[in-house]
Every structure is written in structure tokens, then in C-alpha cells.
């Protein structure tokens, strides 16, 4: 498909005709010899005497070639382009950060799997989160793991295959044996600062209580709220345990509510899967689609044609003059 970038330029096409019609011919004063009996000579020759002006008569071939060259130049100025097939680019309108607890307690094998048999907590979480990532097409996702310290395992990216690979390679204890909820939220806030997207979602999963944070989880949640971060918290541990292994669902609920989110408790893999589905339902994926068509500029073709026609005309005139020149 062809298109003109500046179609209004075609209005210049009749300009030579208008110029020829309304602008008087160019007159040039020259020295002349006065002949007293010029009228008698003109009558004898059967000529009509006019004012002293000589108008050069253009050859029809030159006029036609000039008109074609002008049309080609105007066409080049109009910007002819060839349009390629439509292309679409899907742009993320939301950033999602998954913060996953990999403290020592996540190695506990008390989490009922899909077949009912107890599995490692982290292994069950990895399976469910991997399925969750499979439906994140169009979102930018980052992965944060935390134990005694919090680390960015994968920055915000649309390459979800890489995020899934890094998640599968995560092992219990890589970040230390304790739990730093506040630091993980603070690191998520810092990660979001590199994003210009306004919709920011943090999904935090933990099986314990805060035992190693340098930043208060409550203060971190309030800062997250001020930064426009909405947090959903998921607990997968044992609320009846004691010490560091006890799941503090009250704290997770308080942190989520402060940011406008919610908290959930997952007693098994099926419940955990439904929680991620619920979060996805409450926060439907939205994308911005940009459509464009590649353009190939064709202006050089009419320019080359006009140049070739002009050179051909000049060459023909030069050959004609050479033939008329006596040897």
C-alpha cells in the first residue's frame, strides 16, 4: 500500500500553467539597428509589425518534458511512502514484584501438596508461583527473595521465562536463616523507584514473623502506601508454632491493609493456587497496545526519474545543435 506523507503538496502541480497564463513573458532590452524602410520590408515579406520584443518559442517536446519533470518533483516533495503490514507492540501498564521468603523455616516439609502428601514449603510455593507467572504476559515482573537479608533475584522485566528460571534455582537459606519482612518491603519500594508505571503491585509470601529487619515492617508498609504500592500478603506457615517459626498473620494482615491490599492464609497447595487466582481477579491484567506500520520512503524514485529525463532532454538538444553546426 502506498501513501503520501504531504498530499497537499500536489496542489503545486498546476503552478507552471498558471505562471504561463498570467505572468507576462520576460523582456530584455537589446541594442538594435534602426532601419528607416523597415515597414516596407515587413510588408513585402508579409509580416505583421509589433512592438520591439522577441518571444522565444518553446519546442513542444521541451514543454512536455518540463511538465513531466515538474510533476515528478512535486510527487517527490509530497513524500511517497510504501506502508508495510500493521505492527503491534504490547506495553505493560502494571509492575508486579513477587517477594518470597526463603528463610530456614521454608525447608519444613509440612505443606500438603496437590496429592495430599507433605512437601517442602518452598517447593510448593515455587510450583504455584510458576503457574502464576505463566499468565503474566504483558506485565513486568520482578523477583525478590529474603531471609536474614533481602535480595533482588530478578529486576523488573517482561522476560518471564528468566524469572521462572531464577525462581526454580532459588534454594532455602540462600539469604540467611531468619526473616526480614520490613527489609523485603523496603527493597521492593526501591525497585519500584526505577519504574515510571503508576500501577504497582507487591505480592509478599512468608511463613514466619519478622525477626531480622533493620526497617520496621509497619514503617515500610506506610512508605509503600505513600509510593502508590499496593501489597497482598500470603502466609503459608504454622500460626500455632512458637518463636521464629510462628506465622504472624496479624502482622501480615496489618501490613497489607495499610497499603489498600489484603492478606490470605494458605493451608495447602490448592488454597495457595486459589489465592493467586483471587489476586489476579482483583487486579486484572491491563496492557497498552501501540499500533504502527513500517514506512519505506520512495521519494528518491521520482527524483531519479526527473533527473534522468532532464539529462536525456539536454543530451538530445546537444546532439541536435551538433548536427546543425556546419563542419
- Residue 109 CA to residue 117 CA, distance in Å, equals 9
pLDDT of residue 27: 66
Q: What angle in degrees, to the nearest 10, is found between the helix axes of 60-77 and 15-22? A: 130
**What are φ and ψ of residue 211, in 5° steps?**
-130, -5
Strands 199-206, 94-101: pairing is parallel
Q: Which of 158, 233, 227 is nearest to 198 (CA)?
A: 227
Write the pLDDT tens digit of every residue in 273-318. Answer: 888 888 877 766 665 666 777 888 899 999 999 999 889 888 887 8
- Residue 199 CA to residue 93 CA, distance in Å, equals 7
Domains in the chain (CATH in brackets) are 2-85+294-324 (no CATH), 89-289 (3.40.50.410)
pLDDT value at 217 more than 70: yes
Place 55 in a pLDDT band, splitting at 50, 70 and 90.
very low
* pLDDT average, residue stretch 13-42: 75
* pLDDT average, residue stretch 148-159: 93
Residue 170 C-beta-side C-alpha neighbours within 13 Å: 35
Nearest 10 degrees: Cα torsion 221, 224, 225, 231: -70
User: CA separation (Å) from 50 to 24, 33, 46, 266?
Assistant: 16, 16, 13, 108
Supply 41's cell numbers. Answer: 520590408
pLDDT of residue 112: 81
* pLDDT average, residue stretch 240-266: 88
Amino acid at each position: 500500500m502506498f501513501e503520501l506523507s504531504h498530499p497537499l503538496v500536489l496542489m503545486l502541480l498546476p503552478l507552471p500553467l498558471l505562471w504561463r497564463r498570467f505572468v507576462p513573458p520576460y523582456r530584455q532590452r537589446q541594442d538594435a539597428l534602426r532601419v528607416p524602410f523597415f515597414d516596407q520590408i515587413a510588408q513585402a515579406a508579409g509580416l505583421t509589425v509589433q512592438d520591439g520584443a522577441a518571444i522565444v518559442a518553446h519546442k513542444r517536446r521541451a514543454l512536455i518534458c518540463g511538465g513531466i519533470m515538474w510533476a515528478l518533483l512535486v510527487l517527490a516533495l509530497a513524500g511517497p511512502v510504501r506502508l508495510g503490514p500493521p505492527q503491534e507492540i504490547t506495553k505493560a501498564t502494571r509492575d508486579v514484584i513477587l517477594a518470597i521468603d526463603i528463610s530456614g523455616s521454608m525447608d519444613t516439609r509440612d505443606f500438603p501438596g496437590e496429592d495430599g502428601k507433605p512437601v517442602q514449603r518452598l517447593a510448593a510455593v515455587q510450583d504455584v508461583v510458576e503457574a502464576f507467572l505463566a499468565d503474566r504476559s504483558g506485565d513486568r515482573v520482578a523477583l525478590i527473595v529474603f531471609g536474614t537479608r533481602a535480595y533482588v533475584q530478578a529486576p523488573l522485566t517482561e522476560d518471564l521465562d528468566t524469572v521462572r528460571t531464577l525462581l526454580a534455582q532459588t534454594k532455602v537459606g540462600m539469604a540467611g536463616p531468619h526473616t526480614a519482612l520490613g527489609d523485603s518491603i523496603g527493597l521492593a519500594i526501591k525497585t519500584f523507584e526505577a519504574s515510571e508505571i503508576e500501577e504497582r503491585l507487591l505480592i509478599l509470601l512468608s511463613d514466619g514473623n519478622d525477626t531480622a529487619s533493620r526497617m520496621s515492617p509497619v514503617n515500610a508498609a506506610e512508605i509503600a502506601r505513600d509510593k502508590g504500592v499496593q501489597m497482598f500478603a500470603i502466609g503459608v506457615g504454622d500460626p500455632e508454632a512458637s518463636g521464629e517459626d510462628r506465622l504472624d498473620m496479624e502482622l501480615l494482615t496489618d501490613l497489607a491493609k495499610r497499603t489498600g491490599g489484603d492478606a490470605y492464609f494458605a493451608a495447602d497447595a490448592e488454597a495457595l493456587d486459589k489465592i493467586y487466582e483471587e489476586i489476579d481477579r482483583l487486579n486484572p491484567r491491563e496492557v497498552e497496545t501501540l499500533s504502527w506500520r513500517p514506512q519505506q520512503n520512495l521519494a528518491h524514485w521520482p527524483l531519479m526519474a526527473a533527473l534522468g529525463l532532464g539529462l536525456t532532454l539536454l543530451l538530445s538538444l546537444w546532439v541536435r545543435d551538433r548536427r546543425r553546426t556546419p563542419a
